[in-house]
């Protein structure tokens, strides 16, 4: 008699569970990939007491302001380690000096161009369907199928774009990527690798 469960035969696959569980697993991995690690690991000079050192970091706060051009947005709650003065204004100036000359990597620029093309192409395709439907007078099953197919297509495209952009942060020249999110410069996210200090600017 053999105790224990039998091992799967060669050539067979092991079921990972019902589709709903696999979907939840995928969504959890997707959220983990997009999650940002907030922080501030660069020295700042305090305009109140003149002390220059790493600031105290006390988490972060959301900021829903729309930023364009090269306007900085700092989400970190940071204060002077000497007098407790709020240093977010100084951090914004430092963000500009650090990242204004940093360009997004080629992979990011290609993804943005590809995604922008889809955002323009899908509405044009919808207009083409509307025009064809009016000319051919077939506002029935065919039109519904085409609109449904396009609607289903938009979600995976957006998720795929976000996933690919977030994956860029998983690589660094030091081979020990640990990118800390420092804030935004315009519509770009600014990161600094805690392992080697490499700067990364991404558009998403």
Instruction: Assess whether pLDDT exceeds 90 at residue 191.
Output: yes
> Is 51 a domain residue?
yes
| Confidence class for position 177, pLDDT limits 50, 70, 90 | very high
Looking at the structure, do residues 71 and 122 belong to the same domain, yes or no? no
Cα separation, 102 vs 197, whole angstroms: 13
Q: Looking at residue 68, what is its pLDDT?
A: 63
CB atoms within 10 A of CB 75: 19
Characterise 174 by phi-psi region: left (phi > 0), alpha (psi -120 to 50), beta (else). alpha
Between 72 and 66, name the one with better pLDDT. 72
Domain boundary among 66, 99, 132: 99
Looking at the structure, do residues 150 and 65 belong to the same domain, yes or no? no
CB atoms within 10 A of CB 120: 10
> Is 37 a domain residue?
no
Q: Looking at residue 4, what is its pLDDT?
A: 44
Looking at the structure, do residues 64 and 116 belong to the same domain, yes or no? no
Model-wide pTM > 0.85: no
Looking at the structure, do residues 150 and 192 belong to the same domain, yes or no? yes
Instruction: Assess whether pLDDT exceeds 90 at residue 123.
Output: no
The domain in which residue 130 lies consists of 106-203
Looking at the structure, do residues 91 and 114 belong to the same domain, yes or no? no
Looking at the structure, do residues 142 and 73 belong to the same domain, yes or no? no
Looking at the structure, do residues 183 and 113 belong to the same domain, yes or no? yes
The residue whose two tokens read 């999650």 is 35
Looking at the structure, do residues 139 and 67 belong to the same domain, yes or no? no
Instruction: Assess whether pLDDT exceeds 90 at residue 107.
Output: yes
Instruction: Assess whether pLDDT exceeds 60 at residue 90.
Output: yes
First to last CA, the chain: 59
Average pLDDT of the chain is: 83
> Is 110 a domain residue?
yes
CB distance 59 to 38 below 8 Å: yes
Long-range contacts of 124-131 (CB under 8 A, 24+ apart): 125/150, 126/150
Looking at the structure, do residues 65 and 151 belong to the same domain, yes or no? no
Looking at the structure, do residues 112 and 198 belong to the same domain, yes or no? yes
> Is 177 a domain residue?
yes
Q: Looking at residue 145, what is its pLDDT?
A: 72
């Amino acid at each position: 008699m053999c105790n224990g469960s039998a091992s799967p035969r060669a050539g067979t696959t092991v079921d990972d569970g019902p589709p709903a569980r696999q979907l939840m697993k995928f969504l959890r991995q997707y959220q983990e990939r997009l999650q940002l690690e907030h922080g501030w690991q660069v020295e700042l000079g305090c305009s109140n007491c003149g002390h220059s050192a790493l600031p105290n970091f006390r988490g972060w706060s959301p900021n829903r302001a729309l930023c364009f051009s090269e306007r900085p947005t700092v989400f970190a709650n940071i204060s002077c380690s000497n007098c407790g003065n709020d240093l977010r204004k100084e951090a914004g100036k430092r963000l500009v000096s650090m990242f204004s000359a940093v360009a997004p990597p080629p992979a990011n620029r290609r993804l943005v161009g590809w995604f922008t093309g889809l955002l323009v192409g899908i509405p044009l395709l919808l207009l083409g369907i509307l025009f064809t439907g009016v000319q051919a007078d077939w506002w029935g099953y065919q039109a519904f199928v085409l609109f449904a197919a396009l609607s289903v297509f938009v979600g995976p495209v957006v998720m795929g774009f976000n996933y690919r952009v977030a994956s860029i942060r998983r690589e660094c020249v030091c081979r020990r990527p640990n990118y800390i999110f420092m804030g935004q410069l315009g519509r770009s996210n600014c990161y600094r690798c805690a392992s080697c200090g490499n700067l990364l600017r991404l558009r998403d």
